[in-house]
Amino acid sequence: MTNIKKDMLRLENQLLNQLIESARENFYIFVKMLAPIILPETFVDGQHIEIVCDELQAVAMSVEDVNSTPKRLQIMMPPGSMKSKIASNLFPAWCLGRHPNWCFLAIGSDFEFAVDNFGRPTKDLIDSPQYKAIFPLTHLKRDVQAAGRWDTTRKGRFVARGAGQNIAGRRAHITICGLSTNYVYEKTKGTIQLKDLKIDDQLEGPNGFESVTKSLVCHHELVYNINNEVETSPEHPFFVKGEGWVEAKDLRIGDKLIIGDSLWTRLKKRFMIFGEV
């Protein structure tokens, strides 16, 4: 090997080590490095991803600081914007790399959803060689490896549960709730659908439980079905490759868009369920 090749190899190793060190301290860099592992297609970066990563890192920092009140974060973004992959898979994996003794509780709309979207992907990510290159001291216990509940060798734990399941005694450093906005938590009824909410029901807010005083129902004259996967209002935005955000009513057959956690799904069908153009 020539001296030039040796110097290039040494430089590449130095840069890689610097990148790994940065990923340990910066969640956004960690996401850019490991997102391709958990995505079915090519990772596409965006300003919204950096913003979400910064906010989630602020949450982690508030939990690390014993003298600080832990922050709460609510993320509401269109389908396909990577919010679930970032907040429910990459974020707990990054935190467990820094703190293998932390406990996570992940709540989904039902147990199967929580396991398939929270527990199993995060577990597989931590077991990957790419993750181990960044966090070599975080390991999973081999005798507790169910996809819905697994432990680290440092007494950390990840538990996935569905809405309405018993979580009594499940203490956690961070809780992730990936519930649909169709569900709310009522003081005496537990988790219920919005359509079942009644006047005087008690919902939890920043100042404790408060009574529902009024409800509004919005009716759309048109409801679009996209590829038999999504039903949406005409104004709902989808991210289209090469165009950016496009409302459902303006989508064209053949457009490549993001649906759920799938990148660049080709639009094959778009039809209305109610109403006429």
The pTM (predicted TM-score) of the whole model is 0.67
Tell me if residue 225 falls in helix, strand or coil.
strand
pLDDT at 133: 94
Structure-block tokens of residue 139 = 């390991």
Say whether pLDDT at 145 is over 60. yes
Centre a 10 Å sphere on the Cβ of residue 25 and count the other Cβ atoms it contains.
10
Average of pLDDT values for 131-156? Answer: 92
Q: Kindly tell me if the per-residue pLDDT of 206 is higher than 70.
A: no
Backbone angles phi, psi at 58, to 5 degrees: -65, -35
Q: Is 144 helix (H, G, I), strand (E, B) or coil?
A: strand
pLDDT of residue 209: 84
Beta bridge partners of residue 240, listed in sequence order: 244, 257
What letter does residue 79 receive in the DSSP assignment?
A: T
CA distance 266 to 255: 6
> Phi and psi (nearest 5°) for 70?
-55, 135
The residues spanned by each domain of the chain are 3-177, 224-272
Longest dimension (CA), the chain: 79
- The one-letter code for the residue type at 222 is L
Residues 6+ apart with CB under 8 A from 200: 211, 212
- The residue behind tokens 């090749």 is 5
- Which of the four pLDDT bands, split at 50, 70 and 90, describes residue 277? very low
User: β-strand 183-186 against 190-193: which pairing, if any?
Assistant: antiparallel
How far is 2 from 68, CA to CA, in rounded Å? 54
| Average pLDDT for 219-237 | 69
* pLDDT given at position 96: 97
Higher pLDDT, 233 or 149: 149
pLDDT in tens, 44-98: 888 889 999 999 999 999 999 989 899 989 887 777 788 889 999 999 999 999 9
The residue that leads in pLDDT, 24 or 191, is 24
Query: Which range is least confidently modeled, 9-13, 44-48, 62-66, 185-189?
Result: 9-13
- E strands, 71-201, are 103-108, 140-146, 149-152, 157-162, 174-177, 183-186, 190-193
- Read off the tokens for 144: 């507790």
Structure tokens at 255: 């457009």
Enumerate the β-bridge partners of residue 157.
103, 151
> Crossing angle for the helix pair 27-38 and 91-98, nearest 10 degrees?
120
User: What is the predicted pLDDT for the residue at 275?
Assistant: 44
The pLDDT value given to residue 152: 95
